[in-house]
């Protein structure tokens, strides 16, 4: 019953938040209590293994809700991120419905985690995408309704594929529960697996299915994107695990090529999304593509299908939840102050918003996977796993993708914080408390889990050990795989030591004074105060020439083509109802004649 | 004891690095049929730079840039086994740790240069990072066969495995070694790929606003960088058994790089990236195929 | 059931004519008339189904029934209601046609193009 | 201090500000014929990185504004070399309305090299002379600029509107 | 036990008493319809207990079934009767809020309710034809009652097709009468094996066309989009919720009980699929929201007929429960949609998507109602539509028609495409604010609440639908209980 109570708490808080909509303070307090209550309740009351039977007996489907260690792992991520999102969202002017929808999307997400059978899995998956669609619809910006439309279409596409897969499975195995189907004959199980995987590929925006993601991330409310990209995409990862391990455990034996294709799709998504990312001039679009690229790694992790590659994938999913939401939070704080996402209009904000700068700095260090932070262990494990699977081309593709991470993260931090402060941003203050609190809270795991990853690897290993033969030796601080050994805190300590050393060198020699902004070497040409020195937009413009034509290809064209076909069919169907009653009459008589002619034989 | 040993080691490498730079200037001078400065000239330059009184900074990050740069390259140094002995005793360098730490240096300098809000610096950083898109992947694909051949990801084990002359990485994998050389040229930022620091086009790139002690720190960073990058190549492809062989190896490789640098003109950035995805990429792929066939 | 060719033929002919008028007619009232002709044709067909050779009208009176065979009464009863319903239909149809004439200004069905596609 | 003077003298980074006809003399000194690099002198791109400012020819008011800006952007200690007679007394442009007659009035100069565009040997000789002065610690013209900053600024303001053209940062 | 015959008699009496009441005072007629439907509802509810196993027989004029006209009410028809009365009652309250000059409108409305409840309850074939005619003529009138160009044109078209359709239906009845000699449904069902095959086939074709017009199968539904679009919003609600549902009842009764689901059903199977696909594709291209809703309800009707034919192919109780669930969901959901669309456009009767831009944001309550309707029709989780869609897919899966399942899902995607397009347009940009009365909102709110409440706790509805389906399925039970072992 505990899980049912949890969903009830969240649902009720959502409703209350809606009813108390106009009274801002009361609504905020209620939703805060609800979120914290949910988190605490989840952490203390819910244990793995307990099956909270909420069996609504409808024909042969029962709403049993099971609980596995993995769902706790993701549950904590979800609830934690939701709390951060909530605290930050109090600064935005949202109405009651916004909070209700966000609470219900959380409810959907948690429901998915607890689902034991495919129909309730689908029920909660649909609720989650429905309510996040409604939030994206309420988002700011004028294109938000276009992207909301794309979002709902893509998630519906995924959901219906899932439904088809479920019913194929039920038809062959006569049970709706999430049970293994690898014993089925023929390649029907291949079809079932692909169909079941599609919604999760859509949710984690793998390449062919990623068209909705940039739009949805940029156009939904800034703080909600934190939860959308950090939290809800994790449901896709959870889905991968369910599909690849619970539903089809013998996949490595039966269809190894499918896993390799899945890994390569993930790698291609990571690199292509990275390239698109550093071409963007809008901060949130850049982060959206970066989030897609990071999720590509997770797909590679699952594709490689060895013990510590899945551990790496789950660890990277957690890492992604931490540093991606940190980046989105900082951009939200910047938007709160400067009211713009456009990289061209920002610049030099380090002078005004130092805390956000530090947050973003460590965020991008983690995104690019530089050692002391959380990004590195998962990437390191992933590389080791791929090399062990002796697929060298895949490892170079993934490495190429991680290089693009350096490019777009530097572009982000440079165009927002470094460079020349625009005149209108002269007197803006640091981002308000909500954002600051979120940044600080997210920085802690960034470093703690970065230096001693054992904390998280232990539970993940406990989950994955059940399915795959473990060959990763680890303790709190360092990890050894058959290939190599890394001691994470050692890297951290040496870097801090050396930092102090070079800082001392810096301090000994001479004093330096601060120069005014326009005291810049411009070949001694005279520039006045508001001379636009900031080189924010088109940062990697020349790369467009380097890539040339391939950059212009996009999946959008293929989608529009099949849309045209469907609307052509629509034209024909519409042509049937041409408006003149006599023609309708003629239809009836014609139909009668044809039927009689066909049936004539039997008459 | 280890802390003192630690500083001495760092000082030694920095001085050797500076001497390498002196040799480089000497060699280029002689190629251009002139005498060129004494070998210890860079040390004098660094001392002069640190002696400067009034230097200008554009903000905290601007002054911290070179500090982070030097930290990055120094920590990469400490994780790179020079010959068969490594300063941090219990921890043998891992390829990925070294590759990712290599990025901290340029990132620090990039942040500092960005803060100076000088368009030259930012264009330079954009070019440097895009170039990285070119050479980094080639370098990784070139070194991969060696690691894969010896079934390890740690550089230290690779050195030990290479041992005597016929077992050198360069001999077993000549194609990958060639590709690695191309990549090294880009990584060092030497002439054909000196796009980031191009003095004529963007007024010495990121260092445009750095003077005095900051420039000194950056010179140190460059010096240690030479040793680390060439050292990485030498460790992987030649496996020097002791430190003397290590420095001889680095000198030879550095010498080749300088020769190329002295005579080559400079690429435009998109030409450079396109170049890297041409022949070097082909070579790297051939190297990997060779490993597959070999195994 | 043996009403002979004439009745069936004429009934079916009437129905076909009715449909033909309804389909080709341009004037609204002409179409309505077509439908009415179709209805009458149908009613004729139903009644002709019920005809038994030599049967007399199925009327019960107090005098004992001197003729044995009586025509099947049920179709005739049904036709009665069918005719009434046909009348009601025509009434409603004409009411609508009156309104259309007033609103559209014309009775030509080709002009009724408000609801298309 | 002595070590610094020695190292400063041995490695002079030159800000190649080619004004006027003296610029033509610089390439031979730099390249293989006269090779000034052996004395540790290499041309630098930005004033921030250089110690030596070469004024190689006549200075019109327009270029003087840029020269003063470049001079102020250089870190101290900095030295100035005046090439040719034009910097000493205006040279053949002595009667021109917009050429600066005496360079000293506007920025402190360490060494003048006379000759209507001195040959490379004279330039090398000047460099060596400067080296000894620095080594002995005598070449501190840059201190004069800082000490009587107002005097220099007054002279400059006679020629161009200093207020508009000077960099306002806390010295 | 009040005999249900009163339902028909009462509505008839009240319908024709309206002109008299009108003479008394102008304001009286609007109150008659709610009164009538309320009493009918009360009568029917009291009768629920009496409908035991099989059908409850009510004889008229004292004679045993095969001879006189009688009413045969089993759980299935009772469910539909109650549904009709409930929606009729809600609609009549909705009419209270609009002042109407012409009191004859209420007469047509009551006649419509009469026709509908008559068809649902009658046990006699010819009687069902009579009630069908009453239903059709009154709905011609209702559609044309809009009194503007569109309504009149829609009404006329509906009239033309409806007339031909019902007369072919009559021809079908006669052919059956000639071969069996009786008009009583149960008796014909009993004598069905004795009828020669060709007659059965010919009569099933005639019935197919007659009912096909009513139930909007593919070639015969050309009138539906024009009628729905032309009529006033409340009338199209009535069209979609009451009249088409009676069509489904009639189809179920004839094709399943009388024909035992043998003859026309496989033609219906393919026809229904084409209806669904053609309707959804046509809706895709629509710029006019009202016409889009019309096409979507035609599509839903196609779906319902599909379920019935699937039952006929490999039937079990569950498939029929789905049919009932789909019918309920469509009745409430579509009704809500038409009503809220009416007030969203402020009864200005221009339904272009561009004009609707931002209307949902301008009047949030209506936006919420419209969105609930759409989301329930699409089958989103929180709403009742979800259960009907899931059970639809499960029943098709049970008849293991996998390709049909895939095809349906694809077409659902198309359906979602145009519905999402409407919702997205509704909630974006600045729209016009309309003042709406309390009564219409409360009626719509009732519809919406029922969708959400049953969505979250679908148990009671499942139970009702289950035993209604059970009673429809036992064909023999129906026959024996009516004929009483004749």
Q: Across the interface, which of B25, B37, B204 has its CB nearest the CB of D45? A: B204
The verdict on a CB contact (< 8 Å) between D38 and B54 is no
Distance from CA of A361 to the nearest CA of B (A): 9
| Angle, CA of E234, E244 and E381, to the nearest 5° | 80
Residues in E closer than 8 angstroms to C38, CB to CB, are 164, 167
Query: Closest Cα to residue A59, out of E314, E394, E323?
Result: E394
What is the average pLDDT score of chain B? 84
The long-range contacts involving E72-75, CB below 8 angstroms and separated by at least 24 positions, are: E72/E121, E72/E122, E72/E123, E72/E185, E72/E186, E72/E478, E72/E482, E73/E4, E73/E47, E73/E121, E74/E471, E74/E472, E74/E478, E74/E481, E75/E51, E75/E467, E75/E468, E75/E470, E75/E471, E75/E472
Domain ranges of chain D: 2-165
Distance from CA of E167 to the nearest CA of A (A): 13
In this prediction, residues A153-177 reach a mean pLDDT of 87
Query: Closest Cα to residue A334, out of A250, A231, A438, A417?
Result: A417
The verdict on a CB contact (< 8 Å) between C109 and A582 is yes
Q: Across the interface, which of E130, E140, E285 has its CB nearest the CB of C81? A: E130
Which H/E stretch holds residue D113? strand D111-113
Residue of A nearest to E287 (CA): A574
The verdict on a CB contact (< 8 Å) between D65 and A514 is no
Examine the pLDDT at E63 and tell me if it is beyond 70.
no
The verdict on a CB contact (< 8 Å) between A584 and E277 is no
Residue of A nearest to E463 (CA): A58
Tell me the pLDDT tens digit for each residue of A206-230.
888 888 888 888 888 888 888 888 8
In this prediction, residues E337-347 reach a mean pLDDT of 84
In this prediction, residues E146-167 reach a mean pLDDT of 87
Structural domain containing residue E358: 5-476
Q: Does A583 touch chain E (CB under 8 A)?
A: yes
Q: Does A508 touch chain D (CB under 8 A)?
A: no
Domain ranges of chain B: 2-294
Torsion angles phi and psi, residue E70, rounded to 5: -140, 165
Examine the pLDDT at C2 and tell me if it is beyond 70.
no
Q: In the beta sheet, which residues pair with residue D42?
A: D13
pLDDT at position A299, please?
92
- As a dihedral over the C-alpha atoms of residue E403, residue E407, residue E409, residue E415, rounded to 10 degrees, the angle is -170
The verdict on a CB contact (< 8 Å) between C89 and E163 is yes
Let me know: does A490 contact B91? Beta carbons within 8 Å: yes
Position A160 confidence tier, pLDDT thresholds 50, 70, 90? very high
Mutant choice from E15, E129, E143, E153 vs C, greatest count of C C-beta within 10 A: E153
Report the CATH architecture of C4-53+68-111: Orthogonal Bundle (1.10)
The verdict on a CB contact (< 8 Å) between B53 and D77 is yes
Residues in A closer than 8 angstroms to C19, CB to CB, are 585, 589
Distance from CA of A248 to the nearest CA of E (A): 21
The verdict on a CB contact (< 8 Å) between C92 and E159 is yes
Q: Does A585 touch chain E (CB under 8 A)?
A: yes
**CB contact set of A488 (below 8 Å; sequence gap of 6+):** A371, A372, A376, A377, A450, A451, A452, A453, A477, A478, A479
- Mean pLDDT of successive 10-residue stretches along chain B, which has 295 residues: 75 90 90 87 88 80 87 85 62 78 87 82 86 88 87 80 74 88 87 80 78 85 90 84 84 90 86 88 91 80
Residue of D nearest to A525 (CA): D66
Let me know: does D160 contact D111? Beta carbons within 8 Å: no
Task: Name the A residues in 509-528 with CB < 8 Å from any D CB.
Answer: 513-516, 518-519, 521, 524-526
Chains E and B touch (3+ CB pairs under 8 A): no
Tell me the pLDDT tens digit for each residue of D48-72.
888 888 888 888 888 888 888 888 8
Examine the pLDDT at E242 and tell me if it is beyond 70.
yes
Let me know: does C39 contact E167? Beta carbons within 8 Å: yes
pLDDT at position D30, please?
83
Q: Which residue has the higher pLDDT, D45 or E390?
A: E390
The verdict on a CB contact (< 8 Å) between D46 and B204 is yes
Position A603 confidence tier, pLDDT thresholds 50, 70, 90? low
Which H/E stretch holds residue A265? helix A256-279
Q: What is the pLDDT along chain D (171 residues), one digit of tens a residue?
A: 778 888 888 888 888 777 777 788 888 888 888 888 888 888 887 888 888 888 888 888 888 888 888 888 888 888 888 888 888 887 788 888 888 888 888 888 888 888 888 888 888 898 888 888 888 888 788 888 888 888 888 888 888 777 777 766 544
Let me know: does A402 contact A477? Beta carbons within 8 Å: no
Domain count across chain E? 1
Token readout for A564 is 């045209």
Tell me the pLDDT tens digit for each residue of E198-227.
888 888 888 888 888 888 888 888 888 888
pLDDT at position A64, please?
53
Sign of CA dihedral E9, E14, E20, E24: positive
For chain A, what's the residue count?
603
Let me know: does E309 contact E232? Beta carbons within 8 Å: no
Domain ranges of chain C: 4-53+68-111
Class for domain D2-165, per CATH?
alpha beta
CB atoms within 10 A of CB A571: 13
CB atoms within 10 A of CB A228: 27
The verdict on a CB contact (< 8 Å) between A535 and B123 is yes
In total, the C-beta contacts within 8 angstroms joining chain A to chain E are: 149
ipTM of the shown complex: 0.87
Residues in E closer than 8 angstroms to C94, CB to CB, are none
Which H/E stretch holds residue B250? helix B243-263
Rounded CA-CA distance E58/E41 in Å is 18
pLDDT at position A65, please?
62
Q: Does D48 touch chain A (CB under 8 A)?
A: yes
D76 burial (CB, 10 Å; 0-12 / 13-18 / 19+) is middle
Task: Please tell me the pTM assigned to this model.
Answer: 0.90
pLDDT at position B159, please?
81
Token readout for A7 is 């969903």
**CB contact set of E398 (below 8 Å; sequence gap of 6+):** E314, E316, E318, E319
Q: Across the interface, which of A347, A395, A533 has its CB nearest the CB of B144? A: A395
Q: What value does the CA radius of gyration of chain C take, rounded to a whole number of Å?
A: 19
pLDDT at position C17, please?
92
The verdict on a CB contact (< 8 Å) between D167 and A519 is yes
Tell me the pLDDT tens digit for each residue of A270-312.
999 998 888 888 889 999 999 999 999 999 999 888 888 898 9
Residues in D closer than 8 angstroms to A524, CB to CB, are 47, 66-67, 69-70, 73
What is the average pLDDT score of chain A? 84
Q: Does C31 touch chain A (CB under 8 A)?
A: yes
Which H/E stretch holds residue A473? strand A473-474
Residues in A closer than 8 angstroms to E423, CB to CB, are 137
The verdict on a CB contact (< 8 Å) between A570 and E282 is yes
Residues in D closer than 8 angstroms to B53, CB to CB, are 75-77
| Angle, CA of E397, E400 and E404, to the nearest 5° | 75
Q: Across the interface, which of B90, B115, B216 has its CB nearest the CB of A418? A: B115
Distance from CA of B236 to the nearest CA of D (A): 36
Residues in A closer than 8 angstroms to E225, CB to CB, are 577
């Amino acid at each position: 019953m505990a899980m049912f109570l949890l969903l009830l708490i969240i649902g009720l808080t959502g409703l209350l938040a809606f009813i108390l909509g106009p009274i801002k303070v009361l609504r905020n307090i209620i939703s805060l209590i609800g979120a914290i209550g949910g988190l605490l309740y989840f952490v203390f009351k819910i244990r793995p293994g307990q099956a909270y039977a909420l069996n609504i007996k409808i024909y042969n489907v029962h709403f049993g809700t099971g609980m596995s260690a993995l769902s706790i792992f993701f549950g904590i991520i979800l609830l934690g991120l939701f709390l951060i999102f909530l605290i930050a969202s109090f600064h935005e002017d949202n109405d009651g419905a916004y909070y209700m929808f966000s609470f219900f999307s959380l409810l959907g997400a948690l429901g998915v985690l607890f689902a034991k059978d495919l129909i309730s899995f689908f029920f909660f998956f649909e609720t989650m995408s429905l309510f996040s669609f409604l939030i994206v619809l309420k988002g700011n910006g004028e294109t938000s309704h276009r992207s909301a439309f794309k979002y709902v279409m893509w998630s519906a596409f995924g959901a219906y594929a899932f439904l088809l897969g479920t019913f194929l499975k039920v038809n062959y195995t006569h049970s709706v529960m999430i049970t293994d189907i690898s014993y089925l004959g023929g390649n029907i199980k291949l079809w079932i697996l692909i169909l079941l995987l599609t919604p999760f590929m859509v949710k984690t925006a793998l390449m062919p299915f990623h068209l909705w993601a940039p739009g949805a991330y940029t156009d939904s409310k800034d703080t909600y994107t934190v939860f959308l990209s950090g939290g809800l995409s994790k449901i896709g990862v959870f889905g991968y695990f369910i599909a690849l391990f619970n539903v089809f455990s013998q996949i490595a034996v039966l269809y190894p090529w499918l896993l390799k294709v899945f890994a390569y799709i993930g790698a291609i998504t990571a690199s292509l999304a990275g390239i698109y990312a550093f071409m963007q001039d809008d901060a949130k679009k850049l982060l959206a593509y970066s989030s897609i690229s990071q999720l590509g790694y997770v797909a590679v992790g699952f594709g490689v299908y060895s013990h510590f590659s899945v551990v790496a994938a789950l660890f990277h999913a957690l890492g992604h939840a931490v540093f991606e939401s940190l980046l989105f939070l900082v951009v939200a704080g910047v938007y709160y102050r400067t009211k713009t996402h456009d990289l061209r209009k920002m610049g030099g904000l380090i002078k005004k918003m130092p805390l956000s700068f530090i947050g973003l700095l460590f965020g991008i260090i983690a995104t690019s996977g530089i050692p002391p932070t959380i990004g590195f262990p998962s990437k390191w494990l992933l590389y080791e796993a791929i090399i062990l699977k002796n697929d060298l081309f895949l490892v170079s593709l993934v490495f190429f993708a991680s290089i693009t991470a350096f490019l777009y993260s530097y572009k982000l931090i440079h165009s927002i914080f470094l460079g020349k402060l625009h005149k209108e941003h002269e007197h803006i203050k640091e981002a308000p408390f909500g954002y600051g609190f979120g940044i600080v809270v997210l920085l802690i795991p960034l470093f703690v889990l970065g230096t001693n990853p054992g904390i998280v690897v232990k539970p993940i290993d406990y989950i994955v050990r059940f399915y795959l033969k473990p060959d990763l030796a680890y303790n709190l601080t360092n990890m050894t795989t058959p290939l190599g050994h890394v001691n994470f805190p050692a890297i951290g300590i040496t870097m801090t030591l050396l930092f102090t050393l070079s800082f001392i060198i810096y301090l000994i020699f001479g004093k330096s004074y601060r120069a005014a902004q326009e005291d810049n070497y411009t070949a001694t040409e005279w520039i006045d105060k508001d001379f636009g020195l900031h080189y924010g937009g088109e940062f990697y413009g020349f790369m467009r020439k380097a890539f040339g034509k391939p950059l212009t290809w996009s999946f959008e064209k293929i989608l529009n083509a099949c849309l045209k076909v469907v609307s052509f069919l629509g034209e024909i169907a519409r042509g049937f109802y041409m408006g003149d009653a006599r023609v309708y009459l003629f239809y009836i008589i014609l139909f009668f004649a044809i039927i009689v002619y066909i049936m004539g034989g039997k008459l | 004891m280890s802390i003192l040993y630690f500083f001495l080691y760092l000082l030694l490498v920095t001085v050797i690095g500076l001497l390498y730079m002196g040799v480089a200037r000497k060699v280029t001078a002689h190629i251009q049929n002139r005498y060129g400065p004494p070998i210890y000239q860079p040390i004098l330059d660094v001392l002069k730079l640190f002696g400067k009184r009034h230097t200008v900074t554009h903000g905290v990050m601007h002054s911290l840039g070179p500090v982070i740069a030097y930290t990055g390259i120094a920590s990469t140094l400490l994780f790179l086994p020079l010959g068969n002995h490594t300063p941090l005793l219990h921890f043998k360098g891992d390829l990925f740790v070294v590759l990712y730490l290599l990025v901290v240096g340029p990132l620090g300098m990039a942040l500092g240069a960005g803060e100076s809000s000088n368009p030259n610096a930012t264009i330079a950083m954009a070019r440097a990072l895009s170039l990285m898109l070119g050479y980094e992947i080639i370098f990784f694909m070139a070194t991969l066969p060696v690691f894969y051949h010896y079934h390890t990801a740690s550089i230290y084990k690779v050195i030990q495995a290479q041992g005597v002359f016929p077992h050198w990485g360069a001999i077993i994998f000549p194609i990958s070694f060639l590709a690695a050389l191309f990549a090294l040229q880009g990584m060092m930022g030497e002439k054909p790929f000196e796009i980031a620091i191009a003095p004529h086009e963007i007024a010495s790139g990121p260092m445009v606003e750095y003077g005095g002690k900051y420039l000194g720190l950056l010179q140190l960073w460059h010096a240690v960088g030479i040793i680390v990058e060439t050292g990485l190549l030498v460790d992987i492809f030649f496996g020097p058994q002791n430190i003397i062989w290590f420095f001889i190896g680095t000198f030879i490789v550095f010498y080749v790089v300088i020769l190329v640098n002295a005579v080559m003109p400079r690429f435009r950035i998109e030409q450079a990236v396109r170049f890297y995805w041409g022949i070097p990429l082909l070579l790297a792929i051939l190297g990997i195929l060779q490993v597959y066939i070999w195994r | 059931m043996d009403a002979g060719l004439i009745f069936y033929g004429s009934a079916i002919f009437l129905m076909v004519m009715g449909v033909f008028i309804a389909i080709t007619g341009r004037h609204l009232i002409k179409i309505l008339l077509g439908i009415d002709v179709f209805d009458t044709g149908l009613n004729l067909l139903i009644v002709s189904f019920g005809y038994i050779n030599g049967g007399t009208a199925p009327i019960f009176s107090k005098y004992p029934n001197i003729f044995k065979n009586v025509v099947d009464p049920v179709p005739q009863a049904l036709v009665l209601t069918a005719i009434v319903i046909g009348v009601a239909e025509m009434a409603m149809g004409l009411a609508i046609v009156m309104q259309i004439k007033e609103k559209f200004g014309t009775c030509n069905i080709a002009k009724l193009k408000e609801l298309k596609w | 201090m002595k070590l610094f003077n020695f190292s400063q003298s041995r490695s002079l980074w030159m800000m190649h500000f080619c004004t006027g006809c003296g610029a033509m003399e610089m390439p031979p000194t730099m390249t293989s014929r006269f090779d000034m690099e052996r004395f540790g002198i290499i041309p630098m791109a930005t004033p921030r990185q250089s110690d030596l400012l070469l004024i190689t020819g006549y200075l019109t008011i327009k270029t003087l504004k840029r020269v003063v800006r470049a001079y102020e952007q250089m870190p101290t200690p900095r030295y100035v070399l005046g090439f040719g007679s034009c910097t000493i007394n205006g040279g053949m442009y002595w009667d021109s309305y917009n050429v600066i007659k005496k360079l000293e009035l506007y920025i402190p100069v360490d060494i003048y090299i006379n000759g209507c565009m001195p040959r490379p040997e004279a330039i090398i000789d000047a460099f060596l002379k400067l080296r000894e002065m620095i080594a002995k610690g005598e070449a501190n013209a840059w201190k004069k600029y800082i000490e009587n900053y107002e005097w220099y600024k007054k002279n400059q303001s006679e020629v161009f509107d200093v207020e508009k053209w000077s960099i306002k940062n806390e010295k | 036990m009040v005999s249900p015959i009163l339902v028909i008699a009462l509505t008839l009496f009240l319908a024709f008493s309206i002109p008299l009441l009108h003479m008394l005072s102008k304001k009286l007629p609007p109150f008659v319809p709610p009164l009538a439907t309320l009493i009918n509802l009360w009568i029917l509810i009291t009768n629920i207990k009496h409908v035991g196993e099989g059908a409850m027989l009510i004889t008229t004029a004292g004679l045993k079934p095969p001879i006189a006209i009688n009413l045969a009410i089993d759980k299935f028809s009772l469910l539909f009767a109650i549904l009709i009365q409930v929606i009729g009652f809600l609609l009549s309250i909705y009419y209270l809020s609009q002042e109407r000059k012409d009191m004859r409108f209420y007469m047509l409305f009551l006649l419509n309710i009469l026709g509908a409840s008559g068809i649902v309850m009658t046990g006699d074939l010819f009687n069902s034809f009579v009630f069908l005619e009453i239903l059709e003529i009154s709905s011609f009138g209702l559609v044309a009652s809009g009194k503007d160009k569109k309504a009149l044109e829609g009404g006329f078209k509906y009239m033309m097709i409806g007339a031909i359709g019902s007369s072919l239906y009559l021809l079908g009845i006669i052919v059956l009468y000639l071969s069996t000699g009786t008009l009583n449904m149960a008796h014909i069902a009993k004598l069905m094996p004795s009828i020669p095959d060709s007659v059965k086939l010919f009569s099933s074709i005639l019935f197919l066309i007659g009912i096909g017009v009513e139930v909007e199968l593919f070639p015969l539904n050309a009138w539906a989009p024009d009628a729905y679009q032309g009529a006033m919003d409340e009338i199209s609600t009535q069209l979609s919720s009451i009249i088409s549902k009676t069509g489904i009842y009639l189809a179920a009764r004839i094709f399943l009980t009388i024909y035992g689901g043998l003859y026309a059903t496989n033609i219906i199977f393919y026809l229904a699929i084409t209806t669904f696909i053609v309707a959804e594709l046509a809706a895709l291209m629509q710029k006019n929201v009202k016409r889009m809703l019309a096409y979507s309800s035609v599509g839903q009707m196609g779906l319902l007929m599909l379920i019935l034919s699937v039952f006929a192919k490999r039937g079990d109780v569950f498939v029929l429960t789905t049919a009932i669930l789909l019918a309920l969901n469509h009745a409430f959901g579509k009704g809500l949609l038409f009503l809220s669309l009416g007030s969203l456009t402020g009864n200005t009767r221009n339904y272009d998507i561009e004009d609707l831009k931002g209307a949902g944001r301008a009047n949030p309550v209506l936006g919420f109602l419209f969105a609930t309707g759409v989301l329930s029709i699409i089958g989103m989780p929180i709403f009742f539509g979800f259960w009907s869609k899931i059970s639809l897919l499960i029943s098709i899966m049970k008849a293991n028609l996998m390709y049909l399942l895939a095809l349906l899902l694809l077409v659902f995607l198309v359906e979602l495409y145009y519905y999402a397009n409407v919702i997205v347009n509704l909630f974006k940009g600045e729209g016009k604010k309309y003042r709406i009365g309390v009564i219409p909102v409360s009626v719509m709110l009732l519809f919406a609440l029922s969708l959400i409440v049953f969505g979250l706790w679908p148990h009671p509805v499942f139970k009702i639908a289950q035993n209604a389906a059970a009673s429809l399925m036992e064909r023999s039970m129906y026959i024996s209980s009516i004929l009483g072992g004749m």
